[in-house]
Amino acid sequence: MFLLTTIIAFLVAISVLVAVHEWGHYRMAVACGVKVLRFSIGIGKPIARFKPKKQRPGQDTEFVISLLPIGGYVKILGAREGKVPEEERHLAFEAQPLKSRALIIAAGPVANLLLAVLLFAAVNWIGQLEPRAVLAQPVAGSLADKAGLQEGELVRAAALAGQEVRSVRSFQNLDWLLMRGAFDREDLTLQLERAGGGTRDVTLPLAALSSRELTPELLRQTIGVAPLTRPQIGELTPGGPAERAGLQKDDVVLKVGQVQVNGVEQLIGLIRASVADGQPQANLWEVERKGRHITLEVLPRVDGQHGRIDASLGEARPDMVLVRYGPIEGLVAGVVRVWEVSGVSLRALGRMATGQLSVKNINGTVAIADYAGKAAHLGLVTFIGFLAFISVSLGVFNLLPVPVLDGGQLVYFLWEAVTGKPVTDVWLERLQGVGLSLVVTIIAIGLYNDISSRWLFWR
The answer to whether 119 touches 20, Cβ cutoff 8 Å, is no
Instruction: Give strand pairing partners of 256.
Output: 259, 285
Instruction: Give strand pairing partners of 192.
Output: 155, 200
CB atoms closer than 10 angstroms to residue 83: 6
Residue 253: partners with Cβ closer than 8 Å, 6 or more residues away: 231, 232, 233, 261, 267, 285, 286, 287
Residue 22 annotated as catalytic: yes
Instruction: Tell me if residue 60 falls in helix, strand or coil.
Output: coil
The answer to whether 371 touches 425, Cβ cutoff 8 Å, is no
DSSP letter for 134, please: B
Residue 8: partners with Cβ closer than 8 Å, 6 or more residues away: 376
The answer to whether 236 touches 311, Cβ cutoff 8 Å, is yes
Q: For residue 211, give Cα distances in angstroms to 200, 203, 215, 297, 353.
A: 29, 20, 10, 49, 16
Instruction: Tell me if residue 255 falls in helix, strand or coil.
Output: strand
Residue 388: partners with Cβ closer than 8 Å, 6 or more residues away: 115, 116, 119, 120, 123, 334, 337, 338
Q: Which of the residues are catalytic?
A: 22
